[in-house]
Structure formats: structure tokens, C-alpha cells
Chain A
Amino acid sequence: MEVTVTINGQAVSADVEARTLLVHYIRDTAGLTGTNVGCDTSSCGACTVHLNGEAVKSCTMLAVQADGQDVTTIEGLAPSADEMHPMQEAFMQCHALQCGYCTPGMVMASVSLLDENPNPSEAEVREGLEGNLCRCTGYHNIVKAVLTASGATEGMPA
């Protein structure tokens, strides 16, 4: 069936099977491979993108459910080719990644978190990222990055 999803501001149309998952539509049809598949069972958050501005797990949605909707992926976050989104900048400054596999989903979840709660406490950041797993960093620097992006790093041990 014909599906049109606006991904990072650009309409992407394709004739796909109804059972096509959104994450496969993003990666294979739109060719945007920044969004990763980790667990494929709704647990790890590596596939997190924004649907109409809210973080969702794209391995647990059908592409047809996003038909006619707006999707933002990690590729669409930065304002321009030579400028990073403040959350990406904070992840870089705080060394919030090691292998980087979880990072696209982690950044998308973090941006959504600050949209809903612009001044979270450290505990709120930790809880707000409960849907994203990282096997490398131990989370400490990820939490620090999100607090940095929110403008609050006071009290955060180095």
C-alpha cells in the first residue's frame, strides 16, 4: 500500500506492505540509517524517533501508522550541516557515548524529555530515559549531558 511519511521535513512516499515496520521504512525506504535497531522487541530504545514531536520506538510501529504524519530522526535534529543540536553538542562535550550504538535513540529520547520537562532533576533524567539502554557508558555521562543541555549541571559530580 502507498504510504507517505514526512521525515525530517521531506515527504517520503513508497508502496510498501502493511506489515512494514516504521524503523525499516526509515532505514531501507528512506535510506536514513542513523536510527538503529537494537533489540527489535520494544525494550532498548535504539530505534527512538519523534512522531509529531514525541519520542516513540519505531520498531513497535507500522509505517502505515505514521502515514501522513511527521517523523524526525537523528539526521533531522541539527539545524544545519555544520551546526549541532544543543543535545548533540552536550553529548559530545560530556563524553556521553562510547560505541555510539545507543546514541541516536538516546539523543532523541533526551530531546523529547526536555520538551516535556525543561528543568528536570537528575532523578527525573534517569527515570525519563528508562526506555533507553546503554551497554557502555554506565549512563553517568548521558545524564550529565542531558542536565547540561537543560542548563543545569550544578551538583553533578564530574
Chain B
Amino acid sequence: MIPVAFDYQRADSAEAALAALAEHGDEAKLLAGGHSLLPMMKLRLAYPTVLVDIGRLNDLSYVRDGGDHVAIGALTRHRDIEIDPMIAEHAPLLARATANVGDPQVRHRGTLGGSLAHADAAADHPSALLALGGSVVVRSADAERVIDAGDLFTGFLESALEPTEMITEIRIPKHTGAGWSFQKFNRRAQDWAIVGVSAQQVNGHAQVALVNMHPTPVRATAVEEALANGASAADAAALAAEGMEPSSDLNASVEYRQHLARVLVGRALTDAGIA
């Protein structure tokens, strides 16, 4: 399968990429690792007329100490996140979620910025970003803004990014030493989650996000509120499917997904040390 023909431009700086986006608007797409975009282009579900390759912007591939947070360049590959010592210390949930993405070949190419911009409810990173309470730094040719994880995912494969904007950095607050858990239920190691859960303890309360339980990546607010109001972990986990609109597909019916969410949130809370 071969994508529809397009104009290819390789950006040698973030500025050049942003200028190309400003010029071409929604005709253009950024190409980072290409591990969501190229499969969609091959299936002709996406057909940008201009492809702006940002895959060589090595100065946007980094993990740095930002004081109260860990700053991760948008072009940092999954593999580099998986094995990074600073992420292991301050945001182990992100490292574990990343290690569960696809397979080694996918993790050698895919980037954190690409995964978040793609905004797939079935993907692992968005749930980790939500549970960790992270944010993304977004630039256009003439402005910069920070979007909180809670405001980033707006619809099915839709994010709050404008077509002229690019994620340059991801910021994860440090959760050093706090309990956490990542649960992913699938049938084969390489597969996407049928349902997944990211849970992070933050100052004694829990931040919980779900994978593949809603059209968007989503926080399990019913669970979080019940815990905040003193419910036991078991009682809170029973609310995991409240307010969710999961889809039904080859792997699972709606009812089975709801069941999985309750079971996996229960496991995640226990694993994260939330009683």
C-alpha cells in the first residue's frame, strides 16, 4: 500500500517547520516518527498534500530537569523515554506506559509528541499524561502557549492544537517516590490496549485515567471523586465505567470493556498503594 502523492519538506529547525505550517495550514501535516501517520496514509485515511518532516530535529529530543517537573522534547523517541533514568525516578508511570507501546521497532521510531498530538483514546501515553497531570508546550510561528493535559484531548483523534501549531515540549510534574500503576489488558504483547489504566498518587489522593474507554483519553472522575470522599478503593473502582462511552469492536463489547475498566482500576489502585 502506497500513500497518495505529497510534497515532502524536511525541516531543519522548529522555526522552519512552523513557517511551513503557517504557509500551508491544514493542507500540511507534521511527520515525526510516522508510526501513526504513515499507516493512516497507506490506508488512505489521511492524505496531506504537504508533509513536513520534523524527524531530524534532534534538539527537540531531550529529557531535562525543569525543577518541579521533567521536561521532555517532543521528538524524544519512545525507546529513549523507556530507558531514561530521570523519568524512571520522577515519573515511572510514563516509563512503564511507554515500554508497553507496540514493539521495539515501533518504540525506536515513535515520538512522545507525535503520540500526544495524535490524541488516540486507545494509545497509552495520553492516559499517562492525564494521570501525571502533565502539560504540553505548543508553538506556532508567532506564539507559544501551554496546554494542560486535561484540555488537550477534545474529540475522537482530535486535540486542542491548531493546524499551525506544534508540540515542542512535554512537562511532567515530579512524582518522586509516590505510588503509581499502569495496567494494560490485551491479548498479545504487541497489541493496543483493549482497556488500560494509568494511576498516580498525588499528595495522598489519586489521579486515574483510562485507555480505550471513551472517544477521547479520559480521567476517571467518578473514581477520583469517590476516593476523595472517603470511599474504599474497591467501592471507587466499581465506578470506573461511570460516564464513559466505550466502543464495541472485534476485541470487546461495551459491557466487557466496562467490566475490564472496573477490574483494572481495582488492580491499579491496589498496585499504586491506594486503599
Residues of chain A having any CB pair with chain B under 8 Å: 1, 17-21, 24, 40-43, 45, 48, 51, 54-57, 60-62, 64-65, 67, 109, 112-113, 116, 126-128, 130-132
Contact = CB atoms under 8 A, between A and B. Distances in A.
B105 interface: yes
Chain B interface size, under 10 / 10 to 19 / 20 to 34 / 35 or more: 20 to 34
Contacts of B6: 18-19
B38 A131 contact: no
A131 B157 CA distance: 24
B51 A18 contact: yes
B187 to A, nearest CB: 12
30 contacts: A1-B8, A18-B6, A18-B8, A19-B2, A19-B3, A19-B4, A19-B5, A19-B6, A24-B2, A40-B1, A42-B39, A43-B190, A45-B103, A54-B108, A55-B104, A56-B109, A60-B35, A60-B38, A60-B39, A60-B109, A61-B109, A62-B38, A64-B10, A65-B31, A65-B53, A109-B104, A112-B104, A126-B189, A128-B104, A131-B190
A14 to B, nearest CB: 15
Contacts of A116: 104
Given A62-B34, A127-B189, A56 B108 contact: yes
- Ranked 6 nearest A-B pairs via Cβ: A131-B103, A18-B8, A130-B189, A130-B190, A54-B108, A130-B103
A60 B189 CA distance: 20
A46 B39 CA distance: 16
